[in-house]
Structure 1
Amino acid sequence: MQLLRKLGFPISLIYAIVVYLRNYFYDTGVFPSRSFNTKTICVGNLSVGGTGKTPMIEFLISHIKERCKIAVLSRGYGRRSKGYLLAESGMDVESLGDEPYQIYKKFPNAYVAVDADRQHGISTLEKTIGPDVVLLDDAFQHRKVRCDHYVLLTSYANLYVDDWYLPTGNLRDSKREARRANIIVVTKCPPNLTGKQQQDILKKIAPAPSQKVIFSYLDYDTSLKGGSGEIGLEQLKNKKVTLVTGIANPKPLVSFLTDQGIVLEHLAYQDHHFFSEKEIALFNTKEMVLTTEKDYVRLEGKIKNLHYIGIQHKFLNEGEKVLVSLLNDSLSNP
């Protein structure tokens, strides 16, 4: 894989030129961007791969769901439907995509919609729902919409400043576009990240005076849900556990479970993978299947002994206050 990435370097140079020109045309107004009357908060990244966007969307929802009418707009990657779709009773994960479906099931009071055309999606939400705020999931690179606030996520193990363009690296957008972010969140940090290590990262990122940089780590639930009821993580130590993942980067989860003394058989699939009947039949031969919350919504009801482990962002220092302050400013200012 590394050899193929190196061989793809000439392609990455062409990709970099295309990205530069695209952003230049948006910056100069050749390509138009549109603002909306409804407050918009974008959560995204510059790289492909998992940075924790869905848990961040869930964090934002949990802090404003009681205060206003909230809508979440996603592309619905991997879904088997087209155009604009508003989540409602009776829809399945294949119609919405795994991440929007997960959010819809978890937050029934939030409106969840999918549309690859973000302008059309927001316009439709304004006409039909009239939300107070729209959270745009994975939309940092979608410059047809000019949002009120931008939350940029970058993984501790693969900072965007150290990355390179696809296919040699994981960048899908220019590092320079980080300047549009109000808050940069370094995700998946070690919980014991020192002050000096944080300062070293800050020097690399070199934020503008108006930008805030905060640090978060993934906090895994010790109570597993699904199956016939909740069980404690410690109960897995004497079981034959098969971990099934269809996410971009399962390494942090594998490390966490291994650190808990759990012996795993890990079956890893591509991000947003829809499992075949043959694969499901294989999983049903296992004593105990553990998966992520995102994968659970695609496997629920198909496997007899299936549980999932939930995650959430936890923040170092005053990071949570910084994010909540952003929300307060966004909702209070006209």
Structure 2
Amino acid sequence: MSEIVKIFLELAKIPSPSKKERPVAEYIKNYLAKYPTIEVLEDRTGQKIDGNCGNLIVKIPGGSPHILFDAHMDTVAPCDAINPQLKNGVITSDGTSILGADDKSGLALMLALIDHLMTDDFPHPTCTFLFTVCEEQSLMGAKLLEQKYLDSVDYIYVLDGEGPIGTAVVKTPHGCKGTLKVIGKEAHAGVCPEEGINAFVVAAEAVSTLSIGRIDEETTCNIGVAQGGTATNVVMGELSLQFEARSFSPQKLEELTNHVKETFARVCQQYGAQFEETLQLGTPGYQLADAAPILTAFKKACEHEAVVYQGAACGGGSNANVYRMRGINAVNLSTNMQNIHSVNEQIAAADLEKMLTVLKQLLQKVK
């Protein structure tokens, strides 16, 4: 069994839900303790989010440019007891939990890459390794990282993508989400229902006139949570709907959210109800040109390792979106984790090994 696979299996066994990443952070600190010259810094993000751990930062001096690798320590649930299985070259859980390849594959690759930098004598760029917290909850760890850790960084490679090894996420959507709230009027449903205004009925009419789901090839929207009502014998007085929209086009996103708000406002007015909303734009999406320098080095590394490069669009965001929002050239690279956020999550041992060879070459190719 290769060292990268051993590291991943050890990490996968450690439960680390968002805001409770401390055990994984301690594993990382203990793993790197064998290198006396390495200092593992921990920031104060944990205190800011009421978590038990902050982001970890490891910097290894070198030449120019300064590149940063990023992976997140937290996973989604269920993750209380994870029993990774390696069968026929594929790593899975035992079916009762997630595996945590999202994103412990990235963590394992970063630790193995640090080993490479510390034990093999070769000229290399200055490298920072950022192990973030709370990525699964609105990318909070990356958003709250102090700017001083990013000021001198030229490129950021986030190791948190899906797709075959060699995939770079070059296009991600812009997003908007929040609450759509219909305020009607309560009344006794059996005595005087005509005196009430049923918030559910109002909202249902508004939603029925909207397109929900896939709007076009660039745009989606969804209502994922509905909360309202107090009892079956009371006309529903309020209903809150949790709404989100995403689009690769900022203009389409704006048009869609305006249409949703205008539709709810119009229907509410017809029924004598009130409408409130808290829709807000999220972390911006991004689109990279094929000739972007951050991609050039990755393409050369892939070519050297006989890996097919491909640029891909992704319907979700990652820490790369945060760093680009903060003005740093960043891209998300795939570790080929599959079926993430489910008990069917898996990753191939060979993909961990292959991605490590690509990243080693990236250190040589980046300029």
Task: Give the alignment's TM-score, normalised by structure 2.
Answer: 0.21
Larger-gyration structure (1/2): 2
Task: Give the alignment's TM-score, normalised by structure 1.
Answer: 0.23
